[in-house]
């Protein structure tokens, strides 16, 4: 469903234009410096009736460059390197908006915190280590058969589901 959208973000070579646009904007430069944003990304924002702001692009860029799930504070630190005046509240609102666009996924960690990553291009579920909060995604989905059966039995048309597993990675397992 979202694989084309997510592969567009993952497939973008990088988000270099974000830092360029941000510097120009802060230095009173050309406000159109953000025009280097790929049209596919602009279309996703337009489809969600959201502006393609430097803050949103910066968050996407930080998550795209990361090879792991990031906490809100890690995202905030990364964005502040690009846009120093960006507040934590903006990061919260931005991540929420990007999640609604299905560009970002949120993972609930054992300690009650959350981490974020670009939405995978395929159907995946996270396994969270209860020791170090490391997140590993897995593609196999045991819920497809259950969803079909529940749809038949209840009359609900199940449109989506969320499965997240918790355990301890090899490094955190105590012998």
pLDDT along the chain (175 residues), means of 10: 48 43 37 56 85 90 85 94 94 92 82 80 76 79 85 89 84 84
Question: Could you tell me where in the chain the CATH 3.30.1490.190 domains are found?
Answer: 125-172
Give me the pLDDT at residue 119, please: 78
CATH class label, 3-118? mainly alpha
- Pick left, alpha or beta for residue 99 (phi over 0 → left; psi -120 to 50 → alpha; otherwise beta): alpha
Those residues with Cβ within 8 angstroms of residue 42's Cβ, 6 or more apart along the chain or in another chain: 52
Give me the pLDDT at residue 36, please: 66
The alpha carbon dihedral of 37, 8, 158, 162 has a sign of negative
CA 133 → CA 23, 64, 71, 104, 174, distances in Å?
A: 34, 19, 10, 18, 16
User: Taking the complete model, does pTM exceed 0.75, yes or no?
Assistant: no
Query: Taking a C-beta distance cutoff of 8 angstroms, is the pair 103, 9 a contact?
Result: yes
Q: Nearest-CA neighbor of 94 among 135, 51, 134? A: 51
Fold of 125-172: Dna Ligase; domain 1 (3.30.1490)
Give me the pLDDT at residue 138, please: 79
Give me the pLDDT at residue 18, please: 44
Give me the pLDDT at residue 26, please: 40
């Amino acid at each position: 469903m979202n694989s084309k959208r997510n592969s567009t973000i993952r497939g973008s070579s990088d988000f270099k234009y974000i830092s360029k646009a941000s510097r120009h904007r802060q230095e009173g430069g050309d406000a159109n410096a953000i025009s280097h944003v790929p049209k596919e990304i602009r279309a996703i924002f337009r489809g969600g009736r959201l502006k393609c702001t430097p803050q949103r692009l910066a968050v996407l860029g930080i998550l795209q460059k990361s090879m792991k799930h990031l906490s809100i504070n890690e995202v905030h630190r990364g964005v502040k390197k690009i846009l120093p005046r960006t507040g934590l509240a903006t990061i919260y609102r931005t991540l929420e908006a990007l999640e609604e666009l299905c560009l970002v996924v949120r993972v609930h960690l054992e300690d009650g915190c959350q981490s974020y990553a670009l939405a995978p291009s395929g159907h995946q579920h996270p396994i969270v280590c209860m020791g170090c909060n490391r997140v590993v995604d897995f593609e196999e989905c045991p819920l497809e058969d259950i969803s079909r059966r529940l749809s038949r039995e209840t009359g609900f048309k199940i449109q989506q589901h969320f499965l997240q597993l918790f355990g301890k990675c090899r490094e955190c397992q105590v012998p």
